[in-house]
Amino acid sequence: METILVVNAGSSSVKFQIFGVEEAGALQRLIRGQVDGIGSRPRLVARSNDGTSLIERSCGSDEVPDVAAAIDTVGTWLRKTQTFKLAAVGHRVVHGGPAYDRPVVIDQGAVANLERYISLAPLHQPNNLAPIRALLKGRPDLLQVACFDTAFHHGHSAVADHFAIPERYYAEGVRRYGFHGLSYEYVAGRLPQVAPDIAGGRVIVAHLGSGASMCALSNGRSVESTMGFTALDGIPMGTRPGQIDPGVLLYLLTEKGMEPAAVRDLLYRDSGLKGLSGISSDMRELQSNPDPRAMLAVDHFVYRIGLNAGMLAAALGGLDAFVFTAGVGENSPVIRARIAEKLAWLGARFDPEANANGNSRISGADSQVALMVVPTDEELMIAQHTVALLSEQSGGGATGQRLAV
């Protein structure tokens, strides 16, 4: 069976999945795993799709000091233990800039273009590109596909895309892109199956995890997002602040004498739930901690989501459904309940029992706004895009290669 390897590289982890490609391009998930703790306490974990453990091994910090080394570790394990025929590799790339409105086959020119956006996504872009470079060097014959978090939002209107600054900056690419597009694309594709009554309507999807944003969908298409030029804007996140007055940044630079690099680190690594609480960026820890600072951080998170829901509902001209997804959205009934309270003015009526039971629909029968929980699957979305481009490149009938990454 030919296979697709999906790579989602972050700042301290590399997630990977193997999908088998069946007839007519149907995908079967075979393996999922990750290397986490890169540079500190690296650990390789992988399971088959039925949950069977395939490996759980700790590595030395000098053995896996960076993302490239993590990719090499994964490749070595796969070569030694698996016999799949690898046809292509699909990668999540956070920032595609103004040029890329869909997934693309990667070459050196594409990598050079994507390097231009490293400063706009410093936590993600360098690590997204690291495994791409490693494979271009070690396996130049292997088809690689970049799937962009920004691509799903490319259909926004000019009014939604612009900042109120001189037009020349927009022409240079300073515009509102939106992120988490692979997640929103997946959820938009699932709604006709799980909730056909609302799939074609006015829907807000809240991707709530360590990184968090919200997206307004009209008939399954993105029309507005809380994130903009970078993945800093919008609602507060684990370590990022969300919306902030630009005057605060000017104050830090001019009055506090901070260097730009220090401001960047503050915004990307030391703000959000972590900065506000002074305790943790992990919502689970904050919810269980009685410290008033932890409570403030959680309250702020919920409050800002409520505010942004109003903004997105205005962009849509009303609201038919609100969808929770990603780590916090899928797994925290308490946060879902608190956010649902903020949506009551829009006509949302919450069903506590359905929420506690983990139902996909958590609104009451009398609710004017459907409240849904739809698990996301960015890796499957990447695999689907990759197999589509693989088929296109091979004229509809891809031939694989033995796995050798």
Q: Show which residues are catalytic.
A: 149
| Residue 227: partners with Cβ closer than 8 Å, 6 or more residues away | 176, 177, 178, 179, 180, 213, 233, 234
Instruction: Give the DSSP letter string of 218-269.
Output: ETTEEEEES--SSTTSSS--SS---S--HHHHHHHHHTS---HHHHHHHHHH
Task: Decide if 13 contacts 28 (C-beta within 8 A).
Answer: no
Dist CA 338 CA 151 (whole Å):
31
Placement of tokens 């490239």 in the chain = 68
Dist CA 193 CA 360 (whole Å):
12
- HEC-encoded secondary structure of 72-98: HHHHHHHHHHCCCEEEEEEEEECCCCC
What are all long-range contacts of 40-49, with beta carbons under 8 Å and residues at least 24 apart? 40/12, 42/70, 42/73, 44/73, 44/74, 44/77, 46/77
Phi, psi dihedrals of residue 277, rounded to the nearest 5°: -85, -30
Q: 10 Å Cβ neighbour count for 248?
A: 12
Dist CA 217 CA 61 (whole Å):
43
Length of the chain: 405
Q: Tokens standing for 6?
A: 């999906």
Instruction: Give the DSSP letter string of 337-372.
Output: HHHHHHTGGGT--B-HHHHHTT-SB-B-TT-SSEEE
Sheet holding 202-208, edge to edge: 221-225, 212-218, 202-208, 321-325, 370-373
Dist CA 213 CA 196 (whole Å):
24
Q: What is the DSSP letter of 282?
A: -
β-pairing, 14-21 vs 321-325, is unpaired
